[in-house]
Each structure stands twice: as structure tokens, then as C-alpha cells.
Structure 1
Amino acid sequence: MTADWLVPGYDQRALGALLPGAAAALGHDLGRPAVSLPAAERICVVVVDGLGHRMLLERPRAAPFLSTLMDPEQCLVAGAPSTTATSMASFGTGLPPGRHGLVGYEVMDPDRGELLNELRWHPDTDPLRWQPHPTVFQELAARGVPVTQIGNPEFYGSGLTEAALRGATFVGLTRLRDRVDAAVDRLREPGLVYLYWADVDSVGHVHGWRSAQWRRTVRALDRELARLSRCLPSGTLLVITADHGMVDVPHAERLDLAAQPGLWSRFRVLGGEGRFAQLYCEPGTPADRVADLARQLADWIGERAHVCTRVAAIDAGWFGPVEERVRPRLGEVIVAGREPFTLIDSRTARPHTLSLIGQHGSLTPDEQLVPFLRSVS
């Protein structure tokens, strides 16, 4: 790690080590890297989408309860790329992205020859084939541990849920207050409850995470999580984390591939996300042409991003060990933002995507570091 760059280690500090740590606290060693947690019969794990460790450190007054649990030196590392689909798969399986295979927001599905949006999914892509490894929830359920997942009703049976989080009893509720009540009710008996909340990420994307709207959203979250802590049965271990952080990127700091017609013929499609763009070439493109595309992009982008080939990113350990089935899902060239910067292609990007201010996906500490907050009721 440097001041502006963090290559994930996929060890006991990884987000993917959290659920194996919770399993160990419940008395079940899953044989995967695990965070250290105190033994408990009841555990509630909360994932707040988009609430980075450094964001909490910088805005403690927005979250007075969460700030009481903060230790500036205690946090987890999300993984590459720092985006929801990848992080939730790491969280759910305890594996690095190169093994579970959910390697970005939009990545190539080699069987269909098209991009797969790993949040929205596609009916022709089988989530169990896409991610065949057992989840932590499955392993705990097989050992007789009651496991409950509480989240958006539309997540029930979704591709991402089936790929990354299968095995838990699903409870779909819209309001955070109702999710907190459901978690408290489920934990009247021993077991594990996982609760997810997305509003912090959504507001940060639209308004930026330094906005007044973001602060109001975090304050509302903080009040409900404080109530959760107060209401959980005695002896319950509460763990709060996130899937990634966020940086604000002014629209003036976007680079648009549509303004570079000389590059259009060099790649087939742009995937990934703005701060971790993945460029896919035509099948069979020689390595020297891929390297030349990477050099052209690096010359154009300069110090704003780290540009490398897929081979170089894998060799550098960005994704952990990479299974052969996963390699073709990664772009031949990867552009990972260092400064506040995004790479877009306005010819194909959705208007909503082009309007966003808060961004994530890259390997900066602001995006990679997520909270590791703990308390015992």
C-alpha cells in the first residue's frame, strides 16, 4: 500500500474474511482466511453499500453512533474492483475475485459474447455455473446454523443473490426500520443474520458523498443502527462493514473515448466501470496489439490512472489467484483511476451513468478501505 494505491492481499484483512470469521465465532472453521471475532451464539452482520472507512473518519458528526465504534487503524480491504457485485461475491464466498469470478460491474460473458451486468444479470447466464463455489451461508446451513439474509425484496432469487449469497433464508423488506426489527426478531434464537442497506451508495452516486444529501442519509442510517445495537438480545455480536468506499469525480474530470476516434478500432467494447474500465478486444487479438492499445491509452490518460494489460494485472495479484474460467471475463486492457477521474464512452453509456458524481471501482485507499466496526450487546 502507498498513499494513493492499495493492491488487495486477500488475507485476514480482506472483506472476504469477514463471514469466515463470523463462522469461526459460531464454532465452525471453514478453512478460509478469517477475521478475528469473539465467540458468540448470535451474530448480526450489516453491510452498508458505499460507506467507506475514510468517509466515516472524515465525517464523524454524520454518524455519531458508528463513530463510537471506529478505530482509525481497524478496517477491511474490499478487493478488485471495488464495486458491489465483486465485493458481495467476495463477502459471500470468502474467496478472491479471481476464484469466484464476479470481476466487475459489466464484464464479458464468453459464452454469450456480450457484456454481463453482474447486478442486473441476464436470464441466459446461469449464476450457479458462473460462480460454482459454495457460499459461507451454504456451508453454515449445512452444519445446522440458522442463516437469514435481509435485503431488498427484488433481490430474492436474483442472479447476484444466487451466485454470491445463496444458502440463507431470505427476508425481503423495503424500509430500514423493518429490516432492523426483523434482525432483532430472528436473533432471539442463535444464528447468523446478514442485513444489507443501499441508500448511502445511491445518494453518494447522485449527489456526491460530501453533499448535504449524503450526510442526511448517513444520519438516518446511524440512528437505525444505534437502535439495532440497543435492541439485539444480550450477548449478540454486531459487525458493521461496507462493500467499497467512494470518491467524488466532477464531470470535467471524465475522459470520453468517443472523442478519440483513433482508438475505436483498437477494441471491441468498454466494460467494467468508470474508475476500473475494462476494454475488450476482438477474440484472437495478438498480445503485441493489446500492449500497443495499453500504451496508447496510457499516453492519453497520463498520471490520472494506471493502465495495464490483463496479464499484468493478474501477475500483480489484483484479483488473487485467477481460475482459467475467469480469465476471459476480464478486459484485455484495464484502466484503474488514481486521481479523481473516470473513463467513459458516451456513444454507449446510459444517460444516468453519465450524470453520476460519486464513483468507485479502483485501488485507491478511499475506495478499497471499508469499516470493521464491532460491538456486543
Structure 2
Amino acid sequence: MASGHIVEELKKGCELYRPNYKQNIFSVIPTALKILGAEPDRTNLLSNRKFKRHLEEACCFDVDKIVCIIIDSVGVKQFSFFEKMNSAWDSLGKPALSSVFPTVTSSAIVSIHFGLPPERHGIVGHKVWFQQLGTVVDTLKMASIKAPSTDRLVRSGIDVRVLLLENNLYRTLNDTGIVHFELMPSSIAKIGLSHVLGVEDTTLEFENLVDAFSTLRSILNKYAERKALINLYFDMTDVISHKYGPLSEEYRLTAHHIEEVFSHFLKHLNDNKVAFMFFSDHGQEEISKEKITNVLEEEAGSVAQYLKSPPGRSGRVVHFYVKDGKEDDVRGWVKEKVGENGLLMDFDEACRVFSLKPKGKFRSEIKSRMGDLLLVMNAGAELRFQRKEEKEKLIEEEWRGSHGSMTSNELLVPLLAARSDILKKLMGLN
């Protein structure tokens, strides 16, 4: 087991872990709704005595508003860069959550809003095959990889919610008196993945951190007499972590910036009936140069002949859609290219290894999306398909962080939950 003994290693020394569905990111919002008096038909964290005690000690039950702050790409190791919040988290016993498989934003964010793992809601990766559309879809952009401009599917008249296998959490709020808001960066609000979340009518856009917390303050003031669930999502840590690395100085500065603006907001908040729940969709893994496998277009062509479609991609997980009778050929190609830097498994083995439990009637549909074979990269490793650059770049970028696989850095995220006055005290803001 790792970090609070909540996730189990696949086998000793392999540094890959299986997700924990009893302490998972998809149970946070159902927990918040339960505290506010709703009855979502999803698993929550209150049945876990340890978590319930954490929430009681932080006075989370004596509130009428809960703000879930979801910061992309903050694993338990990265949380140390949020110095004041990390200190508060430490004081509360460092409660941690498991992300899902694969640890990518598309799958994890939908899980958070649906209260379900990916194999239940249907968004099982970043770039995966959907037989309804006959193509590999980039689920962040909601576009085919063949025509990758954002919202291309939506502009073509396709209701992308047909890709879902379940409903989101919020349909039950109408009769509860609970108001619900989503705060998202203007660069992603009401486009791409947000279409499948079903929250367009409750989404407010913000331009930067200051705007985000000022908008949050306006909501709290306007709905002072109402129960409220407000979900606030930040994505800047993900880009920084990819580009510079999850433990880089650039990441530390980004974390410090978020924390400083939030601290200013919290210090001037006079409402002690508000609880905050900080968590993340996943963490990130530092990529080792020695463990990068670069595959050029012509090399990729040698495996394409065995596939029904181009491979799908969920960061450090590759989805292979294999023609009948060609599985051994794909296995041979992967072994030659990747060697000991990854685990290749068929769909049934992936379900067993990562404790995936697709509903019986949807099992074949989930398999068609996840792939016949899945390549899960080991710690520090990545398989990259590269195109020849037509012209030299002004500055060479070396992407140093990634996610999608199941190392502890990718899988384990912190949960910091406390009522506003308790959080002020623990962060030293009084």
C-alpha cells in the first residue's frame, strides 16, 4: 500500500497501483451534496469512519454552503508547494483520495461530476474510439482526431451527450432548494468536454484567479440565505506541470500564486457557514529522458496495418484497436519498441488488474472504447508518436511531466476539507 495505505501496488516493486473506489475523487461531490441535505444515489465518503471523523473535526457538517475547489494536476507530493494549505492538510491528518483509471482529465473530471468511475459513465480516456461516431475522439476538444478543431462535433450538429452511459449528479437538485454553480476558466467554459457535463446553465466564466474568487464572493453574497454547492476549477497547474515538470520551480510559483489569491479571499470572508473542499483530478509523473520511446510516422505505420483505427491515447496509456487475429503482431511491435518500460494487457486483464467493473450490458461498449490491448507505461516512461517538423521551432519545448498511468504520483491526490473559520486558523490567516 502507499500514501496512507489507500492504494495497493499491482505487484511488489512495479510502482504501479490499482485505484481505490472506496476513497475516490468521484465521491467528493456526492459527500458535499449529502452534507447539504440532498440524497444523491452515489457512493459518498461518510460511510468511511475515518473520513467522517476528518469532516466532523473540521466542522464541515455545520455549514449551508460548500465550495469544491478542483485544482488540476495536484498529487500528494505536489501539494507541498501549496505551503499554507499543506500545513492545514497536515494538521488534519493528510487525508488522501485515489483518482481513476486512466488518470487523465477527461475521465477524471467527468467522474467527479457524475459520481462514477469512467467505465460506468463512458468517457474512458482522452483520445478514444467511439463506435457511434466511427472515429477516435479527442474528448477534451470534442472533435475527431482527423478534424481536431475544438467543438467540431458539436458544430456538426452532434449531441455529444450520446457518448454518456449515465446521468450526472445534479439532476436531483431541483427539489432540494440547493443552488448550484460551476466556475470555469473562460478558455474551456461551455466548450469541449464541458458539453458532456450538463452544466452549461449553471456555469460562470472567469478570466484569471482574481476574477474567479471575486465571482465566488459575489455568489456567496447574493445567495447568503440559500444552501449552495459551488464547484471552482483551475487548470493552470496542469499545463505548467506538463511543460516544466510536476516538482519544478515553475510549478512551485504557480501553486504559490493560487494560494496567495485564495488566502486573501479567505482572510476577508466573514461567513462561517461555508466549507471548502480542495482536491484534484490526478497528479503527474516526472518523465525520464532515458525512458522516452519516440516513434516516427513511418515507424507507426508498421503497426497501423494490424489496427482497425489509429491508436487512442490517454497520456501515458495507449489504446490499441486490433484487427481480428493480429493481437500477437501488436504485442510483438510493442515489445520491440517499449521493452520493459510498459505493461501491455488485454481488456479483460486491465479490468482485473485495475479493478474496473463495467456494467454487464455496457461491457462490450466499454471494451470498444478502451481498446483490445492497453499499454500502461511504467514509472517515468512515455511512448511518443512524432511527426516530422516542417520547420524549425523558435524555441524547443521539452515536456517533462505527464499522467494517465497509475504511479502513486499520478493516482494519489490530497483532500483538504474544512469550514472557513477552521481553515483560516489552520492556514495561519487569523
TM-score (norm 1): 0.89
Aligned to 2:278: 240
2: CA distance, partners of 1:89 / 1:291: 34
Q: Assess, with a 3 A threshold, how the Cα gap between structure 1 residues 370 and 346 changes in structure 2: closer, same or farther.
A: same
Are 1:374 and 2:374 matched, yes or no?
A: no
Conserved 8 A contact 1:229-1:238: no
Amino acid at match of 2:16: W
Deviations 1:52-88 (A, max 9, x none): 11222xxx3x322211222465111110110111110
Q: Assess, with a 3 A threshold, how the Cα gap between structure 1 residues 197 and 80 changes in structure 2: closer, same or farther.
A: same
2: CA distance, partners of 1:89 / 1:235: 28
Deviations 1:305-355 (A, max 9, x none): 121112321233454325243331112211111220111221499999984
2: CA distance, partners of 1:231 / 1:7: 41
| Structure 1 unpaired stretches of 5+ | none
| Structure 2 unpaired stretches of 5+ | 1-7, 47-54, 144-152, 421-430
Q: Assess, with a 3 A threshold, how the Cα gap between structure 1 residues 210 and 85 changes in structure 2: closer, same or farther.
A: same
Instruction: Give the deviation of 1:366 after TM superposition.
Output: 0.6
Aligned to 1:257: 295
Are 1:294 and 2:331 matched, yes or no?
A: yes
1: CA distance, partners of 2:337 / 2:190: 43
Aligned to 1:176: 209
CA-atom RMSD in angstroms: 2.6
How does 1:1-80 map onto structure 2 within 5 Å? 1-2=8-9, 4-11=15-22, 13-36=23-46, 37=55, 38-39=60-61, 40-56=63-79, 60=80, 62-71=81-90, 73-80=94-101
Conserved 8 A contact 2:300-2:385: no
Stretch of structure 1 that moved more, 117-126 or 43-52 = 117-126
2: CA distance, partners of 1:142 / 1:156: 26
Amino acid at match of 1:33: T
Amino acid at match of 2:125: G
Instruction: Give the deviation of 1:8 after TM superposition.
Output: 1.4
- Number of corresponding residues: 368
Q: Assess, with a 3 A threshold, how the Cα gap between structure 1 residues 354 and 338 changes in structure 2: closer, same or farther.
A: farther
Instruction: Give the deviation of 1:145 after TM superposition.
Output: 1.2
Max Rg structure:
2
* SS state at 2:374 partner: strand
Amino acid at match of 2:202: T
How does 1:171-250 map onto structure 2 within 5 Å? 171-188=204-221, 189=224, 190-232=227-269, 233-250=271-288
1: CA distance, partners of 2:65 / 2:275: 6
Stretch of structure 1 that moved more, 14-23 or 127-136 = 127-136
Conserved 8 A contact 2:101-2:354: no
TM-score (norm 2): 0.79
1: CA distance, partners of 2:109 / 2:73: 12
Conserved 8 A contact 1:151-1:173: yes
2: CA distance, partners of 1:27 / 1:9: 26
Deviations 1:66-125 (A, max 9, x none): 112224651111101101111100000001100111111111121232211111103254
Aligned to 1:338: 378
1: CA distance, partners of 2:295 / 2:121: 30
User: In the alignment, which of 346, 349, 368 is matched to residue 309 of structure 1?
Assistant: 346
Deviations 1:177-221 (A, max 9, x none): 111121122123230111111111111111112222111111101
User: In the alignment, which of 92, 109, 120 is matched to residue 130 of structure 2?
Assistant: 109
Aligned to 2:162: 129
Conserved 8 A contact 2:94-2:415: no
Amino acid at match of 1:306: L
* SS state at 1:20 partner: helix
1: CA distance, partners of 2:183 / 2:232: 5
2: CA distance, partners of 1:108 / 1:208: 29
2: CA distance, partners of 1:295 / 1:29: 50
* SS state at 2:311 partner: strand
User: In the alignment, which of 137, 150, 169 is matched to residue 183 of structure 2?
Assistant: 150
Amino acid at match of 1:93: F
Conserved 8 A contact 1:138-1:167: no
